[in-house]
Structure 1
């Protein structure tokens, strides 16, 4: 049986509770991944959008995390960047995992699992 014990330093108990930052949205992580890949390739937004069959404005909104793309749309944009949807998912997941680890470390809390 596993028991979770949360340890909190004494000095934190006296401080006002921290307001947690909102978790990043999936569409923001995917958009970041798309923009990074486009920049890495040195391509203009208009060229990638043209190959994907979408407007440059829509691709810009995707890259900024303003729009939630369908799987078909993600596939088209990924293909225009010579990526697969899996490549986008993998990169976005790594980005989100890294943010989660940093947030946990910044909270100063430690979780121990006892068997």
Structure 2
């Protein structure tokens, strides 16, 4: 059977994922799972659709009040969301090789 050889380049440790990006992906996934439209969730949260879009894309670092408003608009538990995000950050930190992979036959 084939062996997989990893070529490690001296790049140092993989960079930590940005919290705002992981938060945004989680919020978007939650909204999409619920079948919610961005404009509707933004209206319930009291923010503009553009701002919610920027949060979901990880472009903005929302305040705790904004995060609470969005989670409230989605009807999700803030503590549960934060626990899920912490798990995602842990998984992303250890995801895959950090360099080229050569598959030999």
TM-score class, shorter-chain normalisation, is 0.7 to 0.9
Which is further off, 62-71 or 93-102? 93-102
Superposition CA RMSD, Å: 2.2
Q: Could you tell me which residue of structure 2 aligns to residue 82 of structure 1?
A: 75
Equivalent of 2:58 in 62, 65, 68: 65
After TM superposition, the structure 1 = structure 2 runs for residues 26-41 of structure 1, keeping only pairs within 5 Å, are 26-41=19-34
Structure 1 residues 33-54: Cα deviation after superposition (integer angstroms, max 9, x where no partner): 0000001001110000000000
Higher share in helix: 1
Distance of 1:93 and 1:16 partners within structure 2: 28
Contact 2:17–2:93 (CA<8 Å) still a contact in 1? no
Deviation at 1:87, TM superposition (A): 2.1
* 1:102–1:16 distance in 2 versus 1, CA, 3 Å: closer
Q: Give me the TM-score of the superposition, normalised by structure 2.
A: 0.78
Contiguous gaps of at least 5 residues in structure 1: 1-10, 108-115
Equivalent of 1:52 in 31, 45, 52: 45
Q: How many pairs are equivalent?
A: 94
Contiguous gaps of at least 5 residues in structure 2: 1-5, 99-105
Other structure's SS at 2:94 match: helix
Distance of 1:93 and 1:40 partners within structure 2: 20
Other structure's SS at 1:102 match: coil
Deviation at 1:85, TM superposition (A): 1.9
